[in-house]
Amino acid sequence: MDTRKKVAFYTLGCKLNFSETSTIARSFEDEGFTRVDFSHAADIYVINTCSVTENADKRFKTIVKQAQKSNADAFIIAVGCYAQLQPEALADVNGVDLVLGATEKFKITDYLNDLSKNDRGEVHSCEISDADFYVGSYSIGDRTRAFLKVQDGCDYKCTYCTIPLARGISRSDTLNNVLQNAKEISAQGIKEIVLTGVNIGDYGKGEFGNKKHEHTFLELVEALDKVEGVERVRISSIEPNLLKNETINFVANSASFVPHFHIPLQSGSNVLLKLMRRRYMKELYVERVNEIKLKMPHACIGVDVIVGFPGETDEHFLETYNFLNALDISYLHVFTYSERPNTIAAEMEHVVPKNIRSKRSKMLRGLSVKKRRAFYESQLGTIRTVLFESENKAGYIHGFTENYIKVKMPWNPELINTLHQVRLTEIDTDGLVRFDFVPAYEASVAF
């Protein structure tokens, strides 16, 4: 009989959080704990929180209740960005026993000497100025891809954002450690690595505990491209002012980096970009999109956009809508603005009513559907390489092409974590793409 204590994890938010949850989970396993699914009974539940939107805050209480249903006597721990920003609020949530801040979360097993339930959560949270060291992470929960953390923190001062308050200054992993982590990921048979961080284009700053750049993001990309066994590397969100033409050119000719970029815009109005304290104007964004499409016409480009920011008039919103509609992009991630404590934007005048925010958000999500469909249609008839995933979803197996087109076919477990060249043939009623496998002799001359 296994008498080891069981631990379960739930992650809210971004790819960076997922990579850190995976690292924290391995620290538990190193101490002899058994990891179980969050829906199962466990002795300890760890919830990695997010503070980007109000909705993520609200979901925390729901997740705590889920843990309590599985085991009313379980020890519940909150870590992550919200735990750093609002530790006392989380400690007051019924059932929460321990709240750990930005630096403490990586020493989580040091706080487990006593797992007795508390009337109120115990808080261990640092001043964010103390979060000046780097802890490397990567996730390996998915058999097909891994999130590899290369950078943490941010020195930007966007008026709506709490991330610098939650994660501290910009700092990077050493190049050698990133490459070692990539090799460890590859050795486990994982085919795709997704680079993640808060501001990955700022990679190299703080690599050895100082503020200067020891390496550039381009040097990171060039070095990862040479790691043996890594089939694909995907760049996650990167700021337009930090995505240089040299990097775009390199990706266009890379052996492993895929033609997929996710570039935050936030607004198509220069007036609002200035209010947000973004470090570019929309004209630079157009230049980046045009450069990508010039070098990689088949590239997928995703966009982050915020609606309902203070001061956003109907005219500003339509400017954003028309800007995005005219731009050669592939999909949108739409965020409805929500006031975050201790941000400049939360104190701004000309607040947009929530019903107007919701209406604008719905319009942009509709535009995203239109953009994705148009991009998918532009790729029909082309030959692409699909990496198949491991989950059986209603009798289908899904996968993604190198340029982030989601495809499906009837479930076949033999395809899990394998790469195949296919010809994209039609878009299904649910918006996914059907395909035909390309014979080996044809695939060899396809490119």
The Cα–Cα gap between 293 and 286 comes to: 11
Please indicate, yes or no, whether residues 119 and 174 belong to a single structural domain of this protein: no
Cβ count within 10 A of residue 160: 23
Which of 225 and 442 is assigned the larger pLDDT?
225
Sheet containing strand 260-266, edge to edge, reads: 260-266, 300-307, 331-336
Q: How many domains does the chain have?
A: 3
Please indicate, yes or no, whether residues 283 and 318 belong to a single structural domain of this protein: yes
**Of all residues in the chain, what percent carry a pLDDT higher than 70?**
96
Domain of residue 86, CATH code = 3.40.50
Position 319 pLDDT exceeds 90: yes
Please indicate, yes or no, whether residues 88 and 113 belong to a single structural domain of this protein: yes
Does residue 137 lie within any of the structural domains? no
Domain of residue 407, CATH code = 2.40.50
Does residue 120 lie within any of the structural domains? yes
The string of pLDDT tens digits covering residues 418-432 is: 999 999 999 998 889
Does residue 139 lie within any of the structural domains? no
Position 66 pLDDT exceeds 80: yes
Does residue 252 lie within any of the structural domains? yes
The pair of structure tokens assigned to 191 is 């085919």
Q: What is the pLDDT of residue 1?
A: 42
Q: What is the pLDDT of residue 45?
A: 97
Please indicate, yes or no, whether residues 274 and 210 belong to a single structural domain of this protein: yes
**Backbone φ/ψ region at 76: left (φ over 0), alpha (ψ -120 to 50), beta:** beta
pLDDT band at 114 (very low <50, low <70, confident <90, very high): confident
pLDDT band at 57 (very low <50, low <70, confident <90, very high): low
Does residue 140 lie within any of the structural domains? no
User: Would you call 211 helix, strand, or coil by DSSP?
Assistant: coil
72-89: average pLDDT: 94
155-164: average pLDDT: 95
The string of pLDDT tens digits covering residues 182-233 is: 999 999 999 999 999 999 999 999 887 777 788 999 999 999 999 999 999 9
The string of pLDDT tens digits covering residues 165-177 is: 999 999 999 999 9
Position 447 pLDDT exceeds 50: no
Please indicate, yes or no, whether residues 205 and 354 belong to a single structural domain of this protein: yes
Position 316 pLDDT exceeds 50: yes
Cα–Cα–Cα angle for 26, 30, 32, rounded to 5 degrees: 115
Q: Tell me which of 358, 378, 398 is where a domain ends.
A: 378
Strand partners, 422: 384, 437
353-369: average pLDDT: 98
Q: What is the pLDDT of residue 113?
A: 87
Does residue 28 lie within any of the structural domains? yes
Please indicate, yes or no, whether residues 282 and 156 belong to a single structural domain of this protein: yes
Position 29 pLDDT exceeds 80: yes
Please indicate, yes or no, whether residues 171 and 270 belong to a single structural domain of this protein: yes
The Cα–Cα gap between 57 and 61 comes to: 8
Q: What is the pLDDT of residue 445?
A: 44
pTM: 0.92
Does residue 158 lie within any of the structural domains? yes
Please indicate, yes or no, whether residues 390 and 371 belong to a single structural domain of this protein: no
Does residue 133 lie within any of the structural domains? no
* Contact indicator for 433, 393 with CB cutoff of 8 Å: no
The string of pLDDT tens digits covering residues 236-278 is: 899 999 999 999 999 999 989 999 999 999 999 999 999 999 9
**Backbone φ/ψ region at 104: left (φ over 0), alpha (ψ -120 to 50), beta:** alpha
Q: What is the pLDDT of residue 58?
A: 76
Please indicate, yes or no, whether residues 348 and 302 belong to a single structural domain of this protein: yes
Q: Tell me which of 343, 362, 378 is where a domain ends.
A: 378
Q: What is the pLDDT of residue 442?
A: 61
Domain containing 347: what range? 145-378
Q: Please, what is the average pLDDT of the chain? A: 93
Domain of residue 313, CATH code = 3.80.30.20
Q: Tell me which of 378, 399, 421 is where a domain ends.
A: 378
Please indicate, yes or no, whether residues 34 and 183 belong to a single structural domain of this protein: no
Please indicate, yes or no, whether residues 400 and 360 belong to a single structural domain of this protein: no
Q: Are strands 171-172 and 151-152 parallel, antiparallel or unpaired?
A: antiparallel
Please indicate, yes or no, whether residues 292 and 403 belong to a single structural domain of this protein: no
The Cα–Cα gap between 436 and 446 comes to: 14
